[in-house]
A = this chain, B = another copy of it.
Amino acid sequence: MEQINNYIETHKDRFIDELVELLKIPSISADTAFSQDVLETAKMVEKSLADAGCDKTQICETKGYPVVYGEKIIDPNLPTVLVYGHYDVQPPDPMNLWDSPPFEPIIKETELHPHGAIFARGACDDKGQFFMHVKAVEFMIQNNTLPCNVKFMIEGEEEVGSDSLADFLMENQELLENDIILISDTGIIGNDVPSITTGLRGLSYVEVEVTGPNRDLHSGIYGGAVPNPINVLSKMIASLHDENNHITIPGFYDKVEILSEAERSEMAKAPFDLTEYKEALDIDDVYGETGYSTSERYSIRPTLDVNGIWGGYTGEGAKTVIASKAFAKISMRLVPHQDWNEITELFTKHFLSIAPKGVKVKVTPHHGGQGYVTPIDSVGYKAASLAMEKTFGKKPVPQRTGGSIPIVALFEEVLKSKTILLGFGLDSDAIHSPNEHFGVWNFLKGIETIPYFYKYYTELAK
Contacts and interface: CB of A to CB of B under 8 A. Distances in A.
Contact of A401 (B97, B221, B315, B404): B221
A316 B225 contact: no
A323 B329 CA distance: 12
A320 B203 contact: yes
Contacts of A230: 237, 305-309, 328
Nearest to A368: B318
A404 B329 CA distance: 34
Given A220-B401, A432-B320, A234 B306 contact: yes
Nearest to A327: B314
Nearest to A222: B298
A383 interface: no
Interface string A267-305: 000000000000001111111110000110110011111
A309 B312 contact: yes
Given A234-B234, A238-B234, A321 B307 contact: yes
Interface stretch (A6-14, A210-218, A445-453, A454-462): A210-218
A342 interface: no
A403 interface: yes
A54 interface: no
Contact of A215 (B226, B294, B404, B433): B433
Contacts of A233: 234, 309
Contacts of A234: 233-235, 237-238, 306, 309
A333 to B, nearest CB: 5
A186 B366 CA distance: 44
Interface stretch (A27-35, A126-134, A140-148, A252-260): A27-35
Which of A91, A226, A309, A315 has the most B CB atoms < 10 Å from its CB? A309
Interface string A85-105: 000001101100100000000
A223 interface: yes
Interface in A42-63: none
A135 interface: no
Nearest to A430: B215
Given A310-B310, A318-B30, A333 B224 contact: yes
Nearest to A220: B403
A201 interface: yes
A114 interface: no
A9 B189 CA distance: 82
A315 B30 contact: yes
B402 A432 contact: no
Nearest to A282: B214
Contacts of A31: 315-317
A59 B118 CA distance: 56
Contacts of A331: 219, 223, 318, 320
A402 B315 contact: no
A434 interface: yes
A406 to B, nearest CB: 10
Nearest to A428: B215
Interface in A70-89: none
A308 B294 CA distance: 32
A165 to B, nearest CB: 15
Contacts of A91: 313, 315, 317, 319
Contacts of A404: 220, 320
Given A226-B281, A404-B220, A356 B287 contact: yes
A153 B281 CA distance: 52
Nearest to A160: B317
Contacts of A320: 203, 205, 307, 331, 404, 432
Given A90-B319, A213-B282, A216-B432, 8 more contacts: A218-B432, A220-B403, A224-B304, A226-B281, A231-B306, A307-B323, A308-B321, A319-B432
Closest 10 CB pairs of A and B: A224-B303, A220-B403, A30-B317, A308-B312, A238-B238, A227-B287, A285-B357, A214-B282, A234-B237, A285-B358
29 contacts: A31-B315, A31-B316, A90-B319, A91-B315, A91-B319, A94-B216, A159-B318, A161-B318, A203-B320, A205-B320, A216-B432, A218-B403, A220-B333, A221-B402, A223-B298, A224-B304, A225-B286, A225-B287, A225-B294, A225-B295, A227-B285, A230-B305, A230-B307, A230-B328, A234-B234, A283-B359, A285-B357, A307-B318, A309-B309
